[in-house]
Amino acid sequence: MRVLPIALLSSSIAVACSHHSSPNGDDDNNDTAGPDAPLACGSDADCPTGEQCDPTSGTCLGGCGAQHLNLTYVPPNLGIVLDRSCSMTKELKGSNETKWEAAVGALTDVLTSYSTKVRWGMTMFPDNSGSACTQDAIPFPIADNNAQPIADRLQAALGSADPDYPDFPCVTPIDTGIEQAGTDPALLDTTRKSYLMLVTDGSQSGCSAGGSAAGAEAAVTQLFSQGVATYVVGFGSEVDGKELTTLANDGGVPNTMGSNAYYAADTAAELDSVFQQIASNVVSCTYAVDQAPPDLDETYVVFSGNTLVPRDQTHMDGWDYDPTAMTLTLYGNYCSELETGVVVDFDVLFGCPTPPIF
């Protein structure tokens, strides 16, 4: 399982000239020295990234990196679209555990693992109010701090007397489930990535209020055109593989590592692994900045004080800046190094005509 190291949440951005400030806004120098006084040092390690210690004066000189501002991690949106049709009460082959119990356990695990790294939401289909084939209000619109409340709701639904226990109605309206999830206002937030994760053990059945299978495909296609990708998870041996393949491809994030375009799981352990993989895939390497770089040609991302990350406007392997959202995002191997903890700190520096790497 890949997680973002805590240190990344206090990463910093450095701006040009000679003002030295700590991440909390306090000057690093003594108050009597004034805000523009150079830092005292004994070696280069005592100086901000991009500056060197002058042995004659014992101060940090020559740098463009000085004032450090906080970078704020921007978690992605991920809405769970969960099948609670009656077939979820069937036992898994070779197990005493039902598909519902396995799904609740795997979802609880991923909600716990990624509680702050993802903004979670959830809708279940069919819901337990109104018409069997249409959905009422989204029970958990995507928001901060949703992981534990969703996990608690799922745990409660393990009891057969709970309203969310999958025993009624016995239909599978994938079409209106996706349509309902797609109305979540959080999916319109252009400052972060947004995704849905459809989890089903069967196929569209008993309903056509949302256009049946064709309606589900149209809904997923429309969401993708709006920048919201849909992961598709098929659980158990009774899924409609052909339809899930179509939905997975329409959703824009098919499984490229397996034999199916959708993410297939036949056991509780496989389902847990799939959920962890999808959460890991969506975890962001995006950070909000509170000051826009004045010149991207003189902006530098530095890993661990000595590795210059290239700017990559193709978003394959490097960094890029979104001036509309005021966010900086890392891509490819550089993002992976942050996610896996290979790199635990980085700086963004601007205002230097040449890279501040010595």
Q: Please choose, from the candidates 15, 49, 69, the residue with its C-alpha nearest in 3D space to the C-alpha of residue 350.
A: 15
Residue 37: pLDDT band by 50, 70, 90 thresholds?
Answer: low
Residue 65 clears pLDDT 50, i.e. is over it:
no
C-beta of residue 223 within 8 angstroms of C-beta of residue 267 = no
- pLDDT per residue over 181-193, tens digit each? 999 999 999 989 9
Token representation of residue 241? 């593989």
In the numeric block, the tokens 């059945």 are attached to 205
C-beta of residue 204 within 8 angstroms of C-beta of residue 238 = no
Residue 2 clears pLDDT 60, i.e. is over it:
no
- pLDDT per residue over 67-99, tens digit each? 455 678 999 999 999 999 999 999 998 889 999
Amino acid identity of residue 346, one-letter, is F
Residue 3 clears pLDDT 60, i.e. is over it:
no
Q: Please choose, from the candidates 230, 225, 219, the residue with its C-alpha nearest in 3D space to the C-alpha of residue 194.
A: 230
C-beta of residue 126 within 8 angstroms of C-beta of residue 85 = yes
Please give, one letter per residue, the 3-state secondary structure of the chain: CCCCCHHHHHCEEEECCCCCECCCCCECCCHHHCCCCCCECCCHHHCCCCCEEECCCCEEECCCCCEEEECEECCCEEEEEEECCHHHHCECCCCCCEHHHHHHHHHHHHHHHCCCCCEEEEEEECCCCCCCCCCCCCCEEEECCCHHHHHHHHHHCCCCCCCCCCCCCCCECHHHHHHHHCCCHHHHCCCCCEEEEEEECCCCECCCCCCHHHHHHHHHHHHHHCCEEEEEEEECCCCCHHHHHHHHHHHECCCCCCCCCCEEECCHHHHHHHHHHHHHHHCCCEEECCCCCCCHHHEEEEECCCEEECECCCCCCEEEEECCCCEEEEEHHHHHHHHHCCCCCEEEEECCCCCCCC
CA distances from 174 to 134, 171, 215, 347 (A): 10, 9, 9, 45
Residue 109 clears pLDDT 90, i.e. is over it:
yes
- pLDDT per residue over 291-311, tens digit each? 888 888 888 888 988 899 999
Residue 54: pLDDT band by 50, 70, 90 thresholds?
Answer: low
DSSP 295-358: -GGGEEEEETTTEEEPB-TTSSSEEEEETTTTEEEEEHHHHHHHHHTS---EEEEES-SS----
Burial class (CB within 10 angstroms; exposed 0-12, middle 13-18, buried 19+) of 269: exposed
Whole-structure pTM value: 0.79
Q: What is the pLDDT of residue 120?
A: 98
DSSP H or E run through 286:
strand 286-288
Q: What is the pLDDT of residue 203?
A: 96
d(CA 151, CA 129): 21
